[in-house]
Every structure is written in structure tokens, then in C-alpha cells.
Structure 1
Amino acid sequence: MAQTTSQDDRSARPTPEGRSRGQRIGLWLGPLLFLLMLLLDLEPGRPEITRMAAVALLMATWWITDAIPLFATALLPLFLFPLLGIERTGDTAPIYFNSTIVLFLGGFMIALTMEKWDVHRRIALWVIRSVGGGPARIVLGFMLASAFLSMWISNTATAIMMLPVGLAVILRMEEQFGRDRTRAFSVSIMLGIAYACSAGGIATLVGTPPNLSLQRIFQITFPDAPHISFGVWLVMALPIAAIMLALAWALITHVFFRVPEEVTVDRTVVESEIRKLGPIGFEERAILVVFVLTAVLWVFRAPLELGAITIPGWSALLPYGHLIDDGTIAITMAGILFFIPTRSPGAKSPTVMGPGVVLRLPWNIVLLFGGGFALAHGFQATGLARLIGDAFGGLAAVPPLLLIFVICLVMTFLTELTSNTATTEMVLPIFAAIGVSTGIHPLLLMVPATLSASCAFMMPVATPPNAVVFGSDRVKIAEMARVGIVLNFFGAVVITLIFRAVGPLLFGIEPGVLPDWAVAGP
């Protein structure tokens, strides 16, 4: 889930007074490229296409170089579109708030309430204690807990919450066996937490911002296409997340950082942390009920078509069920938490979710989303998407499986150094246009690109969880890069093969057939 400290925290990070060299270059390079593009004529008689390309080039440059805060760049369409004759601000502004944003905010409100009452911490400790066992199994416990929580709440918040628990176990081990002998275990715990947070976010639509970006940009680009529902995404992405989690665990504990047999884990640290939380209270039980009910309603809202088997959706039983989407569920269930009274003495608010939650919502990410949606809308409205798609028409000769794999690799390594949300929002309209131009179902390109944006495992700057565990002083950049580069390649292979196998079944993709809604698309 995106967060106050977002899944892609670079959008929330304030620009320092002294910009880096790359930021300074980007700050001036963006306007230069913008002006040079305006001097061209991409399509005679259609000046709005060239102007839209100039806006896209400026936003891409500033997003990639982080020249100004990402959310500030996202606001550019609101005044550049009318100034360049592309669209009125009154027509662009509503794009910044839609059902996808409602889903994001509702899910985030539930996540913040879980954090407020330490429900996420209790779940994590339960999982770690249940898995238990030797060093490798303890690492697995941390990874399972981190991945599960990251499916529903901020992966940054999950990493920050899991870090002190992991360090407490590590410190106890170091006291007993020494820092050198427990080095492998320390690195395993830290990398396990970071990689599991990223893998878990893949599994659900609310797990990471790029997933929500895909849902909305696909809807903007192809308004007549079936919407991507929570349940369909979960069925498709959960196996990918599980395989990546298993691969990460195996590589960390059995290939790169094997723990000596004589080093055993003191599990009393976990038991101590559980005792500190005390018995589960009324508020935590209420949040757990709302959380589980929300997940069930999301998964089974729309029909799940699994080949010959179809699981009907509950929304069809309601008089106006066709008007209900995942955002409806998110905001309804979040709203319920405003009505459940607290029973704990000393509670700061009379209800489980207090008014302070609004102040903690990540409005910077909302703006970043909006900027990406406006960019996608501009690509379609001006015809720029069609022009780009035609330029890549030669890719029709490339086997789809190879094309998907290359896209996965490019997205994975590109997001090692750039914002995964901003990068996804830049490239998805282009991949949609390429799909239409080459006769490939757009989702065959768009979904793998989105999934790969969350599979950057090499560098501390690639994702906030990587940065969080790197700050523990228990992991070196070389160690993270060594495991991460192998995982990056594995991720590209896993996403390519799994999506190619189950994607057509879940999304109704027929090989070599472009749907009617795509023919009338970008």
C-alpha cells in the first residue's frame, strides 16, 4: 500500500537546499528539451501532438532526475495544457481525482488505523512465532510477515516496523556468538525484510502505487475495456509474489548467506515483543474484522472467471451492483471505523479511527497519481499515443514472449534509479499504444511492465525498504547488489512466464486477436 512514507518515497522526500549534480542537470535539461520539442512538427496539421510531446518530455526529465519533488512535476498539466492549447484546466482537473484515488485513500485509511493500534505489529509477531525454528526458518518468518503486511499497508511502514524486531533478534545473537559469526544471519534478516516488502506489494492492487496506476491508466486509455478488478489481480499476481518470495529466501539463506550450524536463534526476543503488546483489545479485534471483511469483499466483488470455472461476484446480487467498484468498498469499510467506539482508557479519539487520519494521508502520492493520469489522458486526447504506437509498428515481428521479457528487464533496471510510480505512469500509455499498433493485446505489455517496476532489488535507492534496511548498518551495498541482480533477472523470467501462462485466461487475452475496445483505443 502506498503511504505517508510512500511505496515510492522519493515523491515525498523534500528537495534539499543543495541539489545534486544530476538534479541540477535535470532542472535545466527539462525546459531545454521542452523548447526544442516545440520547434518540431511531429505531425503536420496537428500541433497539439507536438505540444503534448513537449510536456511529456519535460515531465519525464524532471521525474527521472528528481529535479523538483515528484508531486510538483505532476502538477504541470494543470497549467501547461491550457497554455499550450491542449485542454482546459477545468477538463484536466477532474482527472486528478477518480475511483482509483478513492480506492487508494480508503485502503490507506484502514492501513493507518491498523498502524495506530499496532495490529500490523501483532500480526507480524504471530507469523514469526508460528514459523519459528532455526535461523533459515526465522528469516522465512520475517519474510512471510513482511510480505503479508505489504499486501495491505505501506511497504515502507512495514519495513520500519519490522526493522527493530529484526535488530533485537540480531543483537541477542551477536551477544551470544559475536558479530562476525552472526554476520550471515544479520544480512539474511535485513535483506529478507526488504525483499519481502517489495514482493508482497505485487500481490494486490493496493499493495503498491504502480498497480493502481495501471488500473486507472488502462481505464483512461481504453474506456470500453473491462476494468481490472481486485480479485482478478490477486489471482494473477499472488503466485508471482509467492515465487519471488521463495526465490529470495532460497538465495539469501541457502546460496549467498548460509548461517553456520552452531549458530542458533534465541526466540525469547519474539516472545518478549509479544508480551509487550499485552492481550488483544477490543479495538484490535474490530480492526481485524473490518480488515478481513474488506479483503473478502474486494476479492469476490466481481465474477472470477478461471477457465471453465466462474465464481460469481456478490455485487450482482444487489439492485445497483454494477455501480459498485473496489473504491466503493474501500471507502465504506474505512468509514465504518469512524463509528466504532474505543474502549481503551486514555484513547486519544472516541472512535477507532480518529480525525487525525486525514492529516496523515499521503496527498503527495495522490497528486503524483493525478499527474500520471493527466499525462495518459493527454497522450490519448491529442493522438500522441497513436503516433508513438505507429513508430513502433516494427515490433510486430518480435515474438510476444521475447518482447515481454525485454520490457520486464528494462523496467526492472530502470526503476533501480528512478521512481517506480512515475516511471510506470510515463511508460504505460506508450506500451498501450505499441500494443494496439502491433496487434498485441495491450495488457500483455502493460501488466508485466507494472509488475517489474516493483522488482528492483539491487540498490538502496531503488525502493524505500531497501533504504530502510541499508540504514541498519548490517548490509553493505555490494551484498545487496550481489543478491539483487540475480533476483532482478529471476523476476523478469518469473513475471514473463507466469503472466504468459495465466494472463490470457484471467484477462480474456486471445493470441493474435486485438479486442474491439483496443481497436478504438489510443
Structure 2
Amino acid sequence: MGFVEIIKPYLMWFFHHRNYFIIVLTPIVLLSLPLSVPGPEAKCGYAIILMALYWCTECIPLAVTALLPVILFPMMGIMEAGDVSIQYLKDSNMLFIGGLLVAIAVEHWNLHKRIALRVLLLVGVRPSLLMIGFMTVSAFLSMWISNTATTAMMLPIAHAVLMQLRATEARADARDAQTAAGEVDPQITSKENEAFELEEKETGEVEAEEDRKQTAVKVELKDNVYEIKTSLDVAQEARRKAMEAKYDRLTKGMSLCVCYSASIGGTATLTGTTPNIILKGQIDELFPGNGDVINFASWFGFAFPNMVLMLVLTWVWLQFMFLGFNLKQTFGCGVKSERDKEAYAVMRQEYRKLGGMKFAEIMVLIIFVLLVLLWFTREPGFIDGWATVLFNKGGPYVSDGTVAILMSTLFFVIPSQLFKGGGYGYDEKGKLIKAPPALLNWEVVHERMPWNIILLLGGGFALAAGSEKSGLSLWLGESLTPLQKIPPYAISLLLCLLVATFTECSSNTATTTLFLPILASMAMAIKIHPLYVMLPCTIAASLAFMLPVATPPNAIAFSFGNLKVFDMVKAGAILNVIGILTINLGINTWGYAMFDMGRFPAWANISNPTP
């Protein structure tokens, strides 16, 4: 027995128990930092590095790691316990909860599926149009509901449509083959078969299957129908293999386009994905006098055009990879074939299963539209919004979180059915329901609400507060002062590349939480607009395209689309580059003008903050 065989069981045991070793050994190894370097900066750095390693390795749940500041900061004398705890439920958390309640209501009443199928029925089933349709719907839905829920809903629909397309094309090929075989005269066929049988009996020669196929190609017009049929079999086999290869590529392309579009679409709105909320919270925490520079309207004004540009370029790249650029074939400008009609019927049937719009769906849609309108008009920037005119007398009393909680509360007030006599159906126990239930109840919310994300947000805000209170932010800023020699656009580009690489191996929430306070310190040190680096890096944290484990939508697509890791790496590497370039194009053009990036804002000077 060799050395490898002897040590292998021990290595495997160590691998399976690695989390316990990381949990125990990491704080002991890092303890040399606060012991050797006195001062609160080193203590806060110890806490941040410990949390970063726990987050990256996920040796304990992410939300539990986010609670470590509640333990470490008071014990190390960095912050009082009350000051730490209050960071875990700020206005940004209220915005996140309100946005999630809306998303839960939309999912609960299947409104998102109705929207998806309605759009797909409009675009049709030709490959390129189908890809555009799935990408558009996935991106739009992920602006309002979670990227994971969008992907989990859209992929089965895509899979069903592709299966129907494949089945109808196979049946059409079978019909074409039967038609081609039936074009031969039956009398001639009979005579040639008799001649062939006599000749075979006289000579007694029996050819192998491969030889018969080769003979069929050579003498298919002058020997017999048997060989002609063999030639058709060979052609059919070739067409079958070509069709399998085509639909294998198409399935991979559709799976990737859905998961990538969900991640891209989440960047377009402030509530679309967690990193966006983290940026809002960090800006308000670190720069309290920022004048609400990041709100729903300002974020949408910058991020939505960037999302559209990224989505178009993603479609071009996936089209090139999986469909080619035969646009006449993939778009199809002519009359729809029978295959297209049959596949279209599948989507129409799925849509009909939903029935007519129920009262509950209509009310959820009305509340959703009203919420978006109130968000956009609260503080649009170029004019005073309704919140400023009606409520903000001397201070920003009403925020996006206020609006989100107000509208989401209506889901627990408005009934799901119109009032009528005679009851409202029966419950699970068979009892008559005498009053209509509300659009949402707490059991549904409790089951679907990701409470762990709320703790993650709070942990990020606690880290930012601890860094500022301990002086670690100031020390980091002074250490990064030499970066003034590098052009700002180069700094932004390099940082986006770093964040996009880091987020492939860590959750985008943890990545944003760790990087944003450091980026804010750097911006203050080198006197550039904080949003010039914080905004593009926040969006770059959502560019997790290369690995199945990078984000839940990727993992779902990997299981659905018969994908290999190399397929995702090959497609995602280019998309990462595309995303980084588009983000930096946006921040240096329309973003530069929107946020006045050319000067260092007064509110960013925390030594002399604006009131």
C-alpha cells in the first residue's frame, strides 16, 4: 500500500470536517493582529477580516456571520452594543422589506407568469425572437422580483417550448421522409424487388450492412428500391444527429440567456437586487448629508439604460455562440410553418390555463403600478417631488422605504375577492369561508421572506459604522492616497474588474458589503466623487456569469440546460468584460452628468459635512 492510499482517508476526513477547523483556527491565527498593533483600527480590521473569511468559505451561514459585530464590537471597545444593534434595521432595510412584499404578492397570484407568457405570445417561437422574448421578460421580472424566482419560473417554460419545437420538427422530418419514399412507382418497386430477390438467391451472396449502404450511394438509380430506402435512412440519421446538435445548442443558449438576463435585469432598479440596497444604505450611513443622492428615480435613470445596453450585447454574444448569425433562418421573415404553429400552441395553452384575470391579480397589478409611480415621482431630481411638497418641511421625512411599506401594507388590507353573499368557497378542512381573505397573509410572507438577507444588510451597515467609529476608514483613506496619480477612469475600471472577479467566488451581498466602505474611504482620500467608484462596483458585483456556484440563477440554469462548466465559463467570461465596459461607459457619460462627477461633493467631506 502506497503513501497516498494510507493518507487518503485522513485527508478525506479533514476535508469533510474543514468548516469546524476554519471556525476555530481562523480567529486564533488572526489574533496576532490586534495583539501586536494597539488601537481600535487593528481591532476593527480583525473583525472585518474574520467576517470576510467566514463569508468567503461559508463555514457558517452568511446571516450568522453578519451578526458577529454585535459580539465583537462591544467586546473590543469599538462601539456600544446599542449603537451596533440599531444598525440592523435602518431605512434601507424597510425599503428592502417593502419591495420583497410586493414581489411575494406578485408571485403568490401568478401575475409574473401571466406577464411572461403574454410577452412570449407576442414575440413568437423563431429561435432569435424566442431568445429576445425570454431575455426581455426575465430582465423585466427580475427588476421587481428576485433573480432566483425569475429564473426558476422562466426556465421550465423555455424547456417546454423547446421540447415542443424539437418534437414537431422530428415529426415533420418523418413526414418528409415518408413523402420522399412514396414518390416511387409501386409497380416498378415490385418488379425491382423480385429481380433483386432472384439475383440474391442465385448468387447466394449476402452483403454486410455497411457495404449495402455504400452500394446504395453508388447504384441507387438502377438497382432496386431496397438500396434507395437505405440511402434515405442514412440521410435521416444525418438529419437526426444535426437536429439533436442544434437543439442541444439551443437549449444551452436559452438556459444561459434566462439566468444572465435575470442577473442583468436586477441591476436596473434600486430594489432589484441586494447590492443596490447595500449601496443606498452605505451612502446614507457614511455620508448622512448626501441629500438623498441615491433614490429609486436617480438609480433607475442611470442603471436602466446600462441594463438595456448590456442586455443587447449579451443577446448578440449568445446569438453568435449558440445560434450563429443566419438571421434570415433564426428570425424568419416568412410565413409560419406548422412546426412554429404547434410550438406556439403550447404557450397559448399554458396561458389559457391561467384563465381570465382574477380580482386579486388586478388589485396586485394596480398596487404595483401605483408603487412604481410613487417611487418615480417622490424625488425625481429635476423638479420637487410630491414628498417634498407635502411632507418634507425642513427634512427628508418621507423616503422610498416609507412608500414601499405603505403600499405593501395594502396587501394585508384589500380583499382577494369582491364582496358577495353566500360565502367565498371552502378551506382545506371543507368549512365554508364566510369572509374573503386578504391578498396576502403572514403565513405566506413568513414562508417566502428571505430574513437572512435583512441580517446581511444589517451586518454591512454595522461594519461601515464600526470602520468609521474606530478610525479604520480614515487610516485606509490615508493609505490609498498614492492612487491620486492614476486617472479616475482607470481606477474605476480596475476596481470593477476586481469586484467582478471576487463575486464569482463569493456572494454578491458579501462582496458589496466588504468593498463599499473601503471604496468610500479611497474616494475621500483622493478627492473623487464617491459614486464614481461605488456605483460601478456595486453593479459589477452582480456580474457573476462564469461559474454555476457564483449565483443561484446560474445553478438553476446549469441543472436545466445540460450545460458543462466550460460552456458557462466560455460564455460568462466575455459577458463579464462586456458588463465592465458598459458600466464604465455609463459612469463616464450620462452618469457623469447625472451625478456631477466632475467635482468632489461637499457632502463627501466628512470632516466638514453639509447639514
Same fold (TM over 0.5): yes
Pairing 1:431–2:505 present? no
From 246, 250, 265, give the equivalent of 1:200.
265
Partners of 1:183 and 1:103 lie apart in 2 by 42
Deviation at 1:500, TM superposition (A): 1.6
Partners of 1:85 and 1:138 lie apart in 2 by 59
Partners of 1:247 and 1:427 lie apart in 2 by 27
For residues 156-167 of structure 1, what are the structure 2 equivalents within 5 Å?
A: 156-167=148-159
Partner of 1:288: 365
Is the alpha carbon distance of 1:259 and 1:96 closer, same or farther for their aligned partners in structure 2, counting shifts above 3 Å?
same
Equivalent pair of 1:225/1:518 in contact (CA under 8 Å): no
Partner of 2:352: 275
Is the alpha carbon distance of 1:356 and 1:26 closer, same or farther for their aligned partners in structure 2, counting shifts above 3 Å?
same
For residue 31 of structure 2, give the secondary structure of its aligned residue in structure 1: helix
Partner of 2:490: 402
Is the alpha carbon distance of 1:19 and 1:313 closer, same or farther for their aligned partners in structure 2, counting shifts above 3 Å?
farther
Is the alpha carbon distance of 1:289 and 1:439 closer, same or farther for their aligned partners in structure 2, counting shifts above 3 Å?
same
Deviation at 1:407, TM superposition (A): 0.7
Partners of 2:29 and 2:67 lie apart in 1 by 18
Aligned length: 496
Deviation at 1:26, TM superposition (A): 4.0
Partners of 2:62 and 2:28 lie apart in 1 by 19
Letter of the structure 2 residue corresponding to residue 38 of structure 1: P
Deviation at 1:479, TM superposition (A): 1.2
Q: What are the Cα deviations for residues 63-102 of structure 1, in whole angstroms up to 9, with x where unaligned? A: 1111111001001011111111111211111110011111
Equivalent pair of 1:33/1:58 in contact (CA under 8 Å): no
Deviation at 1:25, TM superposition (A): 6.2
Q: What are the Cα deviations for residues 14-63 of structure 1, in whole angstroms up to 9, with x where unaligned? A: xxx9976874664355313430211232xx6xx11111111011001111
Partners of 2:401 and 2:40 lie apart in 1 by 34
Deviation at 1:346, TM superposition (A): 4.5
Using the size of structure 1 for normalisation, the TM-score is: 0.90
Partner of 1:110: 102
Gaps of 5+ in 2: 1-12, 171-242, 331-336, 419-423, 428-435
Pairing 1:35–2:101 present? no
Partner of 2:333: none
Deviation at 1:392, TM superposition (A): 1.0
Is the alpha carbon distance of 1:521 and 1:68 closer, same or farther for their aligned partners in structure 2, counting shifts above 3 Å?
farther
Is the alpha carbon distance of 1:163 and 1:425 closer, same or farther for their aligned partners in structure 2, counting shifts above 3 Å?
same
For residues 245-260 of structure 1, what are the structure 2 equivalents within 5 Å?
A: 245-258=311-324
Gaps of 5+ in 1: 1-16, 305-309
Partner of 1:499: 587
Partner of 2:305: 239
Is the alpha carbon distance of 1:20 and 1:398 closer, same or farther for their aligned partners in structure 2, counting shifts above 3 Å?
farther
Partners of 2:18 and 2:139 lie apart in 1 by 33
Partners of 1:378 and 1:458 lie apart in 2 by 34
Partner of 1:180: 245
From 148, 167, 170, give the equivalent of 2:162.
170
For residue 504 of structure 2, give the secondary structure of its aligned residue in structure 1: coil
Q: What are the Cα deviations for residues 94-139 of structure 1, in whole angstroms up to 9, with x where unaligned? A: 1100111111111101110111110011111111112225111111
Letter of the structure 1 residue corresponding to residue 319 of structure 2: T
From 363, 369, 387, give the equivalent of 1:315.
387
Pairing 1:333–2:333 present? no
Q: What are the Cα deviations for residues 256-291 of structure 1, in whole angstroms up to 9, with x where unaligned? A: 443884896422221111011111111101100110
Equivalent pair of 1:75/1:371 in contact (CA under 8 Å): yes
Deviation at 1:230, TM superposition (A): 0.5
Equivalent pair of 1:33/1:54 in contact (CA under 8 Å): no
Q: What are the Cα deviations for residues 222-251 of structure 1, in whole angstroms up to 9, with x where unaligned? A: 111122110000000001111111111111
Is the alpha carbon distance of 1:384 and 1:211 closer, same or farther for their aligned partners in structure 2, counting shifts above 3 Å?
same
Partner of 1:8: none
Partner of 2:70: 78
From 431, 453, 456, give the equivalent of 2:541.
453
Using the size of structure 2 for normalisation, the TM-score is: 0.78
Q: Percentage identity across aligned positions? A: 38
For residue 207 of structure 1, give the secondary structure of its aligned residue in structure 2: coil
Is the alpha carbon distance of 1:377 and 1:71 closer, same or farther for their aligned partners in structure 2, counting shifts above 3 Å?
same
For residue 589 of structure 2, give the secondary structure of its aligned residue in structure 1: helix
Deviation at 1:438, TM superposition (A): 0.8
For residue 202 of structure 1, give the secondary structure of its aligned residue in structure 2: coil
Equivalent pair of 1:194/1:466 in contact (CA under 8 Å): yes
From 437, 444, 448, give the equivalent of 1:357.
444
Deviation at 1:317, TM superposition (A): 2.5
For residues 405-420 of structure 1, what are the structure 2 equivalents within 5 Å?
A: 405-420=493-508
From 121, 128, 136, give the equivalent of 2:128.
136
Equivalent pair of 2:473/2:521 in contact (CA under 8 Å): yes
From 293, 296, 299, give the equivalent of 2:376.
299
For residue 182 of structure 1, give the secondary structure of its aligned residue in structure 2: helix
Partner of 1:3: none
Is the alpha carbon distance of 1:132 and 1:509 closer, same or farther for their aligned partners in structure 2, counting shifts above 3 Å?
same
Partners of 1:280 and 1:123 lie apart in 2 by 11
Partners of 2:511 and 2:571 lie apart in 1 by 24
For residue 341 of structure 1, give the secondary structure of its aligned residue in structure 2: coil
Q: What are the Cα deviations for residues 338-390 of structure 1, in whole angstroms up to 9, with x where unaligned? A: 11112285487711111223313111111111111100110111110110111
For residue 36 of structure 2, give the secondary structure of its aligned residue in structure 1: coil
Letter of the structure 1 residue corresponding to residue 409 of structure 2: G
Equivalent pair of 1:401/1:500 in contact (CA under 8 Å): yes
Partner of 2:46: 54
Equivalent pair of 1:441/1:515 in contact (CA under 8 Å): no
Residue range with higher mean Cα deviation, 20-29 or 83-92: 20-29
Partners of 1:408 and 1:22 lie apart in 2 by 31
Partner of 1:125: 117
Partners of 1:191 and 1:419 lie apart in 2 by 19
Pairing 1:468–2:569 present? no
Partners of 1:479 and 1:268 lie apart in 2 by 31
Partners of 2:592 and 2:443 lie apart in 1 by 44
Deviation at 1:465, TM superposition (A): 0.7
Is the alpha carbon distance of 1:267 and 1:394 closer, same or farther for their aligned partners in structure 2, counting shifts above 3 Å?
same
Partners of 2:391 and 2:137 lie apart in 1 by 39
Letter of the structure 2 residue corresponding to residue 479 of structure 1: D
Residue range with higher mean Cα deviation, 265-274 or 450-459: 265-274
Letter of the structure 2 residue corresponding to residue 498 of structure 1: G
Letter of the structure 2 residue corresponding to residue 179 of structure 1: E
Higher gyration radius (CA): 2
Equivalent pair of 2:546/2:571 in contact (CA under 8 Å): yes
Is the alpha carbon distance of 1:432 and 1:29 closer, same or farther for their aligned partners in structure 2, counting shifts above 3 Å?
farther
For residue 87 of structure 1, give the secondary structure of its aligned residue in structure 2: coil
For residue 560 of structure 2, give the secondary structure of its aligned residue in structure 1: coil
Partners of 2:561 and 2:601 lie apart in 1 by 51
Partners of 1:29 and 1:192 lie apart in 2 by 42
Pairing 1:508–2:596 present? yes
Partners of 1:339 and 1:19 lie apart in 2 by 52
